[in-house]
Amino acid sequence: MKKMNTLFALLFASAGVFAQTMWNVDKNHTNIQFNVSHMVVSEVNGSFTDFTGAVKSKTDDFNGADVEFTAKVASISTNNEKRDGHLKSDDFFNAEKFPEVKFKGTLVKENGKYLLKGNLTLRDVTKPVTFDVTYGGTVDTGNGVKAGFKLNGKINRLEYGLKWSNKLANGEMVVGDQVEIVCKIELNKAAA
């Protein structure tokens, strides 16, 4: 009997070690945005409005959490129908041939700061990226537990095949190569 009790104790203890908490992106309280310079003197911002995301965490502070995210390219919005159509064309995202933007990676805490490291896929190009992350904490709302994050980073759009580039008379680019990505993310803890 002692051996059985010991075996059950070990099984329950090991299950706790491997326990993972699932979190899902709350689409109503999350913004996936980007900014890019326009005509050198200003910026244009846009967002994706159709997306999904999930986080699988083994720790309460999300260190080492697995992160997956997908956005539908057809949902891109800059509040300008003509520009949105151009962004969906082969000059940029080619929404028909490459309908999704994908990210898969890990949230890590290094020297007291959070970083999101992983692979970002745009069009048919996958490249490693690192984003700075601010962890806002968690809160039990009485109707569930929520967690909040803010993500910032930059990518070079040309490295992903978003190739359109006209120049102004002075030689400067109409659309900048560097794209700033800013995401404000709220997660819902999945029911156990």
Model pLDDT for residues 65-74, shown as the tens digit of each residue: 999 999 999 9
Q: Which amino acid is at 7?
A: L
Class of residue 67 by CB neighbours under 10 A (exposed 0-12, middle 13-18, buried 19+): buried
Helices (H) and strands (E) in the chain, counts: 2, 11
Nearest residue to 147 (alpha-carbon basis) of 17, 26, 64 = 26
- List the pLDDT tens digit at each of the 192 positions of the chain: 555 555 444 444 444 445 799 999 999 999 999 877 654 566 788 999 999 999 999 999 999 999 999 999 999 999 999 989 988 999 889 999 999 999 999 999 999 999 999 999 999 999 999 999 999 999 999 989 999 999 999 988 888 887 767 554 555 555 677 789 999 999 999 987
SS3 (DSSP) at 47 = strand
CB 189 within 8 A of CB 144: yes
Look at residue 55 in the predicted model and tell me its pLDDT.
97
Pick the CATH number of 21-189 from 3.40.50.720, 2.60.40.10, 2.40.128.110, 1.20.1740.10: 2.40.128.110
Over residues 4-27, the pLDDT tens digits come to 555 444 444 444 445 799 999 999
Evaluate the CA torsion angle 124, 126, 132, 138 in order and state its sign.
positive
**175 token code pair:** 């659309």
Look-up of token digits 């720790």: 59
The pTM for the full model equals 0.84
